[in-house]
Structure 1
Amino acid sequence: MGHPVMFDEGDAALQRIREIALAFPGAAERVSHGRPNFFTTKTFCYYGGSERGDHVGARHDRAILIRPDPADEPALRQDPRFWEPAYLWPAGWLGVDLPVSDRDDSGWTEVAELIDASYRVTAPKTLVRELDERTSPAG
């Protein structure tokens, strides 16, 4: 028996995460442990999760789990908006709830930047180069 589905296919925030995540070279989506996750050869973003420790079971359904850039990780860990996700925290993953408003452009810009950083940490170098070529002024 598989895990129960823990997301709503019609969730507007999930649709926005899909638009961001699936725009990366080689990115695909699958459902794992009842939640959408986005990957190349490794997962770079989960949609939804729960906190570790005393909060296990406290679901964050409108959140992303990401692997931060190692240079940014200490600062993110000091930011009270970020939390350690159950099971994934030992591997350096962090969770953050999504902006309350789908119209919060600055919040969604940050979400896109966090997903970009996570992609760069987990994706093969060839795909990161392809991303850089796409986004460079000469590309």
Structure 2
Amino acid sequence: MIDPADPLVVRVRTICMTFPEALEAVAWGRPTFRAGKKIFVMMSSSMDRPNSIVFKPAGDERLAHLEDPRFFSPPYWGPSGWLGIDVDQPTTDWTELAELIDTSYRQVALQRQLRALDSR
């Protein structure tokens, strides 16, 4: 689905793998990044948007994100509250993307993982 050596995947991986107990696993032909067993970021929301990530926003932020045209409700994951954003745009703000990934990690991480993250 998407090459794990793609520069966008490498850049997302660089962010995701800094989190405590972060793992990378291929699922559905896509790299996924997990806090233990739970996915917090998935590359490539669909065949139509291969250069995107799917992430889990904080519940109170989801509707605000959806008012921003950069965000979309991805197939399969959207009904569960997840969002997608394209990462191949010249205007991609990688600092903001790192913050979105941090929030997503915090939505699925175990308490010990959160303590490890916050103790840094």
SS state at 1:29 partner: strand
Aligned length: 119
Q: How does 1:36-75 map to 2 (within 5 A)?
A: 36-40=31-35, 41-50=37-46, 59-75=48-64
Unpaired runs of 5+ residues, structure 1, are: 1-5, 51-57, 135-139
User: 1:121 is matched with which residue: 62, 82, 107?
Assistant: 107
User: 1:11 is matched with which residue: 6, 11, 35?
Assistant: 6
Counterpart-to-counterpart distance in 1, 2:5 and 2:24:
16
Q: Structure 1 length as normaliser, TM-score?
A: 0.80
| Runs of 4+ displaced beyond 2 Å | none
Identity of aligned residues (%): 41
Provide Cα deviations, 1:8-34, integer angstroms capped at 9, x if missing partner. 232111001001001100100001011
Query: Deviation of residue 71 (structure 1)?
Result: 2.1
* RMSD of aligned alpha carbons: 1.4
Q: How does 1:28-107 map to 2 (within 5 A)?
A: 28-40=23-35, 41-50=37-46, 59-101=48-90, 107=93
Q: Structure 2 length as normaliser, TM-score?
A: 0.92
Larger Rg: 1
